[in-house]
Amino acid sequence: MTTPTIATLSRQLDDGAITSRQLVDAALASIAAGGEEARKTYTALHTEPARAAADAQDLLRRAGQRPSPLAGLPISVKDLFDEAGHVTRAGSRALEGAAPASRDADAVARLRAAGAVVVGRTNMTEFAFSGVGINPHYGTPGNPADPARIPGGSSSGAGVSVAAGHVPLALGTDTGGSIRIPAALCGLVGFKPTQRRVSLRGALPLSWSLDSIGPLARTVACCAIADAVLAGEAEWVPPPAGLAGLRFAVPQTVVLDGMEDAVAAAFDAACRRLSEAGARIIEVPLAELAEIGPANAKGGLPAAEAAHWHRDLLAEKGDLYDPRVRVRIERGRTMSAVDYIEVAQRRADLIARTDRTTADYDALLMPTVPLLAPRIDAFAEDAEFARLNLLLLRNCALFNFLDRCAISLPMQRAGELPSGLMLVGAAGADRRLLSIAAAVEPMVGA
Across-strand partners of 117? 74
Instruction: Cis check for the bond before 154: say yes or no (omega within 30 of 0).
Output: yes
- Catalytic positions, please? 78, 154, 178
Sheet holding 189-192, edge to edge: 42-45, 117-122, 74-78, 169-174, 212-217, 189-192, 405-410, 420-425, 363-367, 247-251, 280-284
- Burial readout 409-427 (b: 16 or more C-beta within 10 A, e: otherwise): bbbbeeebbbbbbbbbbbb
User: Residue 364: CB partners within 8 Å, gap ≥ 6?
Assistant: 248, 249, 250, 251, 286, 358, 399, 422, 423, 424
CA torsion, ordered 150, 442, 73, 99, to nearest 10 deg: 40
Tally helices (H) and strands (E) across the chain. Answer: 15, 11
SS3 state of residue 363? strand
Dihedral class, residue 434 (left if φ above 0, else alpha if ψ from -120 to 50, else beta) = alpha
Q: Over 243-263, what HEC string results? A: CCCCEEEEECCCCCCCCCHHH
